[in-house]
Amino acid sequence: MASTAIQGLDVLYSRQQIANRVAEMGAQITRDFNGEKLVMVGVLKGAAFFLSDLSRAIDLDATFDFVAVSSYGTAQRSSGAVKLIKDLDQPIEGKNVLVVEDILDTGLTLAYLRKIFLQQHPKTLRIATLLDKPSRRIEKIEADYVGFSIPNLFVIGYGMDFAERFRNLPDICLMPPDSSE
């Protein structure tokens, strides 16, 4: 593993690896929706970087909306309780919806969002996640588009944080054991 200049962190995926994979995912999504309109729903705050890059890699008429949920607080482990902090601004009934998430971990957040979004009767509902941690899954849910599958590691950077820190790192890095200060 390489080391990033910021604080000597170990890099799991470099900005170039991320860019290459996001471009591949965007091309696949473009093919799958075949010229149809798309509503991209970013899950704040972690997916902001991924949504921004992914949207530029998709050659479709796309609009954005955002939801905010919380299940972590300031801990490294999910609390298990998902709380909706910000709901959609626009109705999604009859629309192609792509939920864009930074990491699919326990599945609690995405299972919760899938349930409330399906109640609004979208035409299609698909999920894109940059990272997938299948070993931690509690809820049975899979993403339609996955950037990278990773083992049970706590990662930071490219939008992912620890207690709101490290989101601005351009690479996806391993959380150092002594960073909880």
Across-strand partners of 38?
Answer: 62
* End-to-end C-alpha distance for the chain, whole angstroms: 24
Task: Identify the active-site residue in 32, 59, 65, 105.
Answer: 105
Q: What single letter denotes the amino acid at residue 107?
A: G
Is there a catalytic annotation at residue 144? no
DSSP-derived letter for residue 54 is: H
CA distance 41 to 177: 32
**Which of 38, 111, 99, 40 shows the shortest CA–CA distance to 71?**
111
Integer CA distances (angstroms), 169 to 8, 29, 98, 159, 174, in order: 12, 26, 25, 8, 11
**Which of 155, 149, 96 shows the shortest CA–CA distance to 127?**
96
Catalytic residues: 105
